[in-house]
Amino acid sequence: MKIEDPTALLDNLRALTGEVDWVEFKTNNDNAVAIGKYVSALANAAILREKSEAYLVWGIEDGSHDVIGTSVNLNAKKEGNEPFLLWLSKMLDPRIRLLVETVSYHGKRIEILCITPSYERPVRFQNQAYVRIGSAQQKLADYSDLERSIWQITSRFSFESSIIQPNATIDDLNEDYDFTKLLDLLEITANSIEAKLDRLIGEGLIQKNLQGRFDILALMAIACAKDLDKFPALSMKGMRLLEFEGTDKDTAREDLAGTRGYAVVFSVLMKRLMGLLSEGEEFIDGIRTSIYGIPEVAIRELVANALVHQDLTRHGERPTFEVYADRVKIINPGVPLIEADRFIDSPSKSRNPEFSNLMRKAGLCELRGSGVDRALRAIEAAALPPPSIQIVEGSTVVTTFKEKPFGKWTSDERILACYQHACLQFEDNEPMSNSSLRERFGLPQRQYPQVSMVIKDALDRGRIAPLSEDQSNRYARYVPYWAR
C-alpha cells in the first residue's frame, strides 16, 4: 500500500482513542529484535481486528500523541552486513508487505512503517508469533484463544476480500467502476455520490481508509470494473465468447474477449449467447416466444455457476464459453470443491462466497446450491442429452447439447442421463422408475423395454442401485449409488 496522504494518515492515527493494538507510537527505539517482535504483534493484531494494515510510527509520543520527531531511519539501518528491511523480511513468516515512509509532519521528521499482513496464518518473527496484550508483546502460543481466532479469520479470508486498488479517490471510482449500474442491479436507491459510497461500504465493496480515501476490494472489481485488465491480479479474467461454424474448432466465426466486471456485463453475455442458440420464434398460447436449441434457464444457471465458482487466483485464465453447431461448452478455471458426481445433491461450496452472494442479490443466479439442479431439470424437460462435467487440466468443463434423436445417444449418454435423473428424483423424495425415466427421455410407453435396458446398464456400471433388493420388476424403484 502506498501512502498517498501521510498528513491525513497521521492525523487519523493520532486521533485514535482507547486501546488500539494495531498501532504503536515510538520515539527513537530502533532495536532490530524489538522491531521484529512489534511487527509480528501488530500484524497479528490487525488480523484479529480484520484491518488491512498496522502501523509502527516513530516521532510521535505514546500516550499524549505529541509530535516530537525522530532520528530513526529504517532505510539506512543495517543489521549485520545487510539492510535492516531485507533482514527483517527474512525473519518473518509468512512474508508480509512492509512499506517505509519518511515524512515531514508539523515540521518534524516522522518515520512510518506500514505493515500489511497476508491473512495466511499467524505472523511469526524468528519462528515465534507475538500478540499485543495491553502495551506489551507476548507470545501468541500463551494465548490459545487468540491464536485460534487468528486461524479462524485467516481460514475464511478469500481473494475477493483482498484490496485490489488502495487509496482510490472518488474520481478513480468514477473512472474505473460502473458502480451505479451495480447498485441498480442490487435494487439500491442512492441519489448522491455520498449515499452511493455509503452503500458500497455497506455492501463490503469498498472501505474508507485512514488517509481519507477508499480501498477497493477485489469483489468490487470482479463485479463492476470497467476494465479488469487494469488490475494485475485480474488481468485476462474477462469473459471470452467463441462461436465455431461446425462441431469442431476448425473455423471460428467470432472470438470476443471481454474486460468488464461480471455482474454489469452478465445480461449482455446472456443476450449474445442466446442469440447464437436461437432457433426462431413460435406462438405459444398466443404469445410470440423465442425458441432456443438449449433452454435459456439452463445456460443462465450454468454460466452463473461457472463465474461464481471459478478459481480467481489462477492468473491468465478466464471463464470461456464456446458455441458449436451441436453443443455449448462452458469452461471455468479451477477444480470444483466437490466431486462432479455430487453436483446435484451436495451442499454448495464456493471459493468466492461473497461474490456468489452478490450475484444472487443482483438476481443473476439461483439460490445457494439450486442452480445446477434447475439447469438439469430444464434439460430433462426438453428431453435433451445430459450435460457432461469434466475436469480438464485444472479447469471445470460443462458441456450441454442440443437436441438429437434418442437412437443416436451413446450408451454413456444414456447411463449418465439415468444417473442424473435418479439424483433429481432422489432430491424430490421420489425414487426413479422406468416410467419417470421414460418421460425424461421423451419416449412413448411402448418403448419401455429400451428404458429397462438403460436401467440395467446403469446398474451394471454401479451408477444406480435398487431401492429394495426384493422389489418386483413391475414396481421397481431406483436411487443413486451413493444413496444406499
- My answer on whether 333 and 462 are in the same domain is no
The predicted pLDDT at position 1 comes to 61
- My answer on whether 340 and 436 are in the same domain is no
- My answer on whether 123 and 168 are in the same domain is no
Q: Is residue 384 part of a domain?
A: yes
- My answer on whether 34 and 130 are in the same domain is yes
Long-range contacts of 241-250 (CB under 8 A, 24+ apart): 241/269, 241/272, 241/273, 241/320, 241/321, 241/323, 242/320, 242/321, 242/322, 242/323, 243/276, 243/323, 244/322, 244/323, 244/324, 244/325, 245/325, 246/324, 246/325, 247/324, 247/325, 247/326, 247/327, 248/324
As to burial, measured by CB atoms within 10 angstroms (0-12 exposed, 13-18 middle, 19+ buried), residue 161 is middle
- Are 310 and 332 contacting, i.e. CB atoms less than 8 angstroms apart? yes
Range of 141's domain?
Answer: 6-157
Q: How many domains does the chain have?
A: 4
- My answer on whether 282 and 374 are in the same domain is yes
As to burial, measured by CB atoms within 10 angstroms (0-12 exposed, 13-18 middle, 19+ buried), residue 484 is exposed
- Are 225 and 234 contacting, i.e. CB atoms less than 8 angstroms apart? yes
The predicted pLDDT at position 369 comes to 53
The predicted pLDDT at position 325 comes to 94
What backbone torsions phi and psi does residue 169 show, to the nearest 5 degrees? Answer: -95, 175
Long-range contacts of 174-180 (CB under 8 A, 24+ apart): 175/226, 176/216, 176/225, 176/226, 176/227, 176/230, 177/216, 177/220, 177/221, 177/224, 177/225, 177/226, 177/261, 178/224, 178/225, 178/226, 178/260, 178/261, 178/264, 179/205, 179/220, 179/224
Q: Is residue 1 part of a domain?
A: no
Read off the CATH number of the domain in which 384 is found: 3.30.565.60
The one-letter code for the residue type at 314 is: R
Of 157, 192, 216, the residue that ends a domain is 157
- My answer on whether 84 and 216 are in the same domain is no
- Short-list 27, 183, 173, CA closest to 108: 27
Strand partners, 109: 104
- My answer on whether 33 and 78 are in the same domain is yes
Cell triple for 250: 476448425
Q: From first to last of the 484 residues of the chain, give the pLDDT tens digit.
A: 678 899 999 999 999 987 789 999 999 889 999 999 999 999 999 999 989 899 999 999 988 999 999 999 999 999 999 999 999 999 999 989 999 999 999 999 999 999 999 888 999 999 999 999 887 889 999 999 999 999 988 877 788 988 999 999 999 999 999 999 999 999 999 999 999 999 999 999 999 999 999 999 999 999 999 999 999 999 999 999 999 999 999 888 999 999 999 999 999 999 999 999 988 877 777 677 788 899 999 999 999 999 999 999 888 899 999 999 999 999 999 998 888 888 887 777 778 889 999 999 998 876 555 688 999 999 999 999 999 999 999 999 999 999 999 999 999 999 999 999 999 999 999 999 999 999 999 999 999 999 999 999 999 999 999 998 888 877 899 999 998 8
- My answer on whether 272 and 359 are in the same domain is yes
Q: What is the pLDDT of residues 389-446, one digit of tens each?
A: 999 999 999 999 999 999 999 999 999 999 999 999 999 999 999 999 999 999 999 9
